[in-house]
Amino acid sequence: MGVVGVLRSSAYDFVMSLLAILLIVAGVLAALGVVAAVVLAFRRQTPAIGGRLEPMEPPRSKAPKVERNDTSSDTALVDTASDIGEESAESGAVGEVLTPVAPSFRDRLRRARGTFSGTFASIRGRSAITEEVWEDLEEALIRADVGIGPATELLTAVRARVKSAGITSPSELLEEVKSEMITRLVAPIDLRFSAESPTIWLMVGVNGVGKTTTIGKLGHRLVGEGKTVVMAAGDTFRAAAAEQLAMWGERCGATVIRGAEGGDPSSVIFDAVAHAGSAGADVVLADTAGRLHTKSNLMEELRKVRRVADKGVGSVTEVLLVLDATTGQNGLTQAREFAEAADLTGVVLTKLDGSAKGGIVFAIQSSLGIPVKLVGLGEHAEDLVPFDAEQFVEALFAEED
């Protein structure tokens, strides 16, 4: 190898070392990039419990945090939102526009769906519609709070249909069950307004079912539609009840008329109606007590409230019985008592997002003939939605995800 050869080989070495250095630098830069990407991704993920980042949920920070003045059984409900896998508003995503979206039955009815899903799946897997299939169906309906009477009626209708249509496959049978359920649940759910303002809507029901919360949610909805709302703190049993209503009123921009603790509920409602009349308000949402200070009968009191509410300007167009869906068949007993005392125009079924099994909807509609007009699917302002029979049944039949 001559001088040229030596020079060539050192030039070659030089180029090779340069390449090696460049490779090392590129490697380090790439590693840094990966680390940065991981850190960024981690920072985006952390605040969203559950890891989903879709901006579909309404901004929770705006939802009223209602003062919890029921020290009784509802403490357990505080965590319901996180139980059902909801996300908080602080999802950490920047620049997204969060438009309030009504929660869907499919998302919120997870537990209700759970009571049916196993049975439905096992029926789908059978090869024929045997007596056992019918028994399993009946058992599932009863287990889901539908009640023996309504379950039998429903299945009798389905049996007739299966026979006349010559249905032989279990999955077609389930389609029939589904459409029969929808048919039975479809009812007029409109909330009516009176010809002369103000429109008065009364909420009745036992303690803790969600009357005050429902008024808050309704107020939020009505104000959002451009209506002026007056809330009547007719639950004078505890001062805290009026506080709770005042908070909802303040947040949605409704006037709250309250009386003295232990005062006469009828007179508070009367004052609220008079105020609404003179202020030209559109709707009065009246809260009532689920129990009383005096021994006087709650039902008597409600009759009086109704009479007094109708006395002044405007008129009562809705008397809504608020029922807690998690109380199952017990809710029916309450419903019967209230139906006797007040001319109920509809039911608001709350806490359908909780441990409710859902079947109670059928029981109410078929035993009482009173339509479920609204359902509560959570504790927040936007969690009150019109009852949609089709969506409800679809949610019960949806396969687990």
Ligand X SMILES: Nc1nc2c(ncn2[C@@H]2O[C@H](COP(=O)(O)OP(=O)(O)O)[C@@H](O)[C@H]2O)c(=O)[nH]1
Residues at the contact surface with ligand X, assessed by CB under 6 A: 66, 68, 70, 74, 77, 80, 205, 207-213, 290, 322, 350-351, 353-354, 376-379, 383
Q: Are 199 and 283 in contact (CB under 8 A)?
A: yes
Distance CA 126, CA 306 (A): 54
Closest CB to Mg ion: residue number = 212
Q: Which is nearer to ligand X, 243 or 271 (CB)?
A: 243
Q: Which is nearer to Mg ion, 153 or 243 (CB)?
A: 243
Q: Shortest gap between Cβ of 84 and ligand X (angstroms)?
A: 8
Q: Shortest gap between Cβ of 376 and ligand X (angstroms)?
A: 2
Q: Are 322 and 348 in contact (CB under 8 A)?
A: yes
Q: Which is nearer to Mg ion, 112 or 246 (CB)?
A: 246
Of ligand X, Mg ion, none, which one does residue 108 interact with (CB within 5 to 8 Å by kind)?
none
Token representation of residue 134: 């019918």
- Edge to edge, the sheet with strand 384-386 lists 255-257, 229-232, 283-286, 199-204, 315-324, 346-350, 372-376, 384-386
Of ligand X, Mg ion, none, which one does residue 213 interact with (CB within 5 to 8 Å by kind)?
ligand X
Q: Which secondary structure element, helix H or strand E, spans residue 331, and what is its range? A: helix 330-341
Token representation of residue 136: 């399993």
Q: Which is nearer to ligand X, 214 or 365 (CB)?
A: 214
CA distances from 243 to 115, 246, 250 (A): 38, 5, 10
Of Mg ion, ligand X, none, which one does residue 382 interact with (CB within 5 to 8 Å by kind)?
none
Q: Shortest gap between Cβ of 211 and Mg ion (angstroms)?
A: 5
Q: Which of 229, 224, 266 has its CA nearest to residue 245?
A: 229
Torsion sign, CA atoms 28, 32, 38, 39? positive
Of ligand X, Mg ion, none, which one does residue 70 interact with (CB within 5 to 8 Å by kind)?
ligand X
Of ligand X, Mg ion, none, which one does residue 290 interact with (CB within 5 to 8 Å by kind)?
ligand X
Residues at the contact surface with Mg ion, assessed by CB under 5 A: 211-212, 235, 241
Q: Shortest gap between Cβ of 217 and Mg ion (angstroms)?
A: 13
Q: Shortest gap between Cβ of 346 and ligand X (angstroms)?
A: 16
Q: Are 357 and 111 in contact (CB under 8 A)?
A: yes
Q: Shortest gap between Cβ of 237 and ligand X (angstroms)?
A: 9
